[in-house]
Structure 1
Amino acid sequence: MENLKRDIKVNKFSDPTKACLFITYRLGNWVYYNLKIPLFRELVLFIYKILDLIFIRIINNAQIPARAKIGGGLRLPHGGNGIIIHPNAEIGENCTIFHQVTIGYKDSPTKSYGPPILKNSVYVGAGAKILGDIIIEDESIIGANAVVVKNVPLKSTAVGIPAQIIKQAKK
């Protein structure tokens, strides 16, 4: 539950439903990866699914599945409003995700690509789409409404549709 403490520290919970979103996700994630007693696990996952439906999907209009691996210190300035995260996505420590962001698969008629990996301290602007088997490296910035389908290097800024790197850290 260390990650939940870090989430609470970086978010302002003026709205209790936002706190419930974090508590629900962290509970489900802990159960999914740590609870090994089959019958008890299924019972707690059932309770989690009810909480997920109420606090994440209905009230916050988000999809943040328990299976997604999200590091501590996740900052959601506008709660979960419209955020969709693929169950197999990985998000590092201290990331910021604004509203209406999608982090998911990229499909084409001939091939399906896995979900993205966001490393530590990534900032994702409102409405951005991060799609496919790509890596967004540490301390990168994804601009509002960007559609990212290629890797983003360390400490870079990506904007546009499709996203282009406009600023990159010097080596």
Structure 2
Amino acid sequence: MIKVFRLASLLHRHGIPWLPRLLYGFNRIVFGIVLPPSVQVGRDVRFAYSGLGTVVHARARIGDRVKVAQNVTIGGRSGHHEVPVIEDDVEIGAGACVLGPVTIGRNARIGANAVVLQNVPAGMMAVGVPATVRPVRGQETA
């Protein structure tokens, strides 16, 4: 799945008109992931279960070593042109939604089924609907 995306992205950057769209369609049908060729995806990004049910906005940016579980939505929000930016070493739990002009900081964690509508600082955790930001367990400061 990620290799097909990388090829589609390379072709998209070089201005090939229809082949990236065909590869995008292949990923969507075979793996059940919506990952347009225009998405910026860093190195060593892992999509659990080959990205099953995952939807990523075409302008989103995903950093290096990010782990994305199944059924995750990384997308826009009505009334906002900006889309999420996921920085390096982030973990996103199953069913989570990261929506709108938000930045998820380095080493942050997004809990399963969380709906993130605000920025998550580096090293923090977001849980709940809507998500609230908390320190990662075991890393609380005194």
Please give the TM-score of this superposition, normalised by the length of structure 2.
0.91
Give the alignment partner of residue 106 of structure 2, picking from 134, 138, 144: 138
For 2:105, give the aligned amino acid. Answer: E
Give the alignment partner of residue 73 of structure 2, picking from 102, 107, 112: 102
What aligned pairs does 1:12-161 form with structure 2 within 5 A after superposition?
21-33=1-13, 35=14, 41-42=16-17, 46-54=18-26, 56-107=27-78, 111-161=79-129
Contact kept, 8 Å, 1:61 with 1:82, in 2: the verdict is: yes
For 2:19, give the aligned amino acid. Answer: I
- Cα RMSD of the aligned pairs, angstroms, is 1.4
Identity %: 30
Deviations 1:59-96 (A, max 9, x none): 11110000000101011121110000000000000000
Shift of 1:114: 1.5
State the structure with more CA Rg. Answer: 1
Identify unmatched segments of 5+ residues in structure 2.
Answer: none
Contact kept, 8 Å, 1:24 with 1:48, in 2: the verdict is: no
Please give the TM-score of this superposition, normalised by the length of structure 1.
0.76
Aligned residue pair count: 138
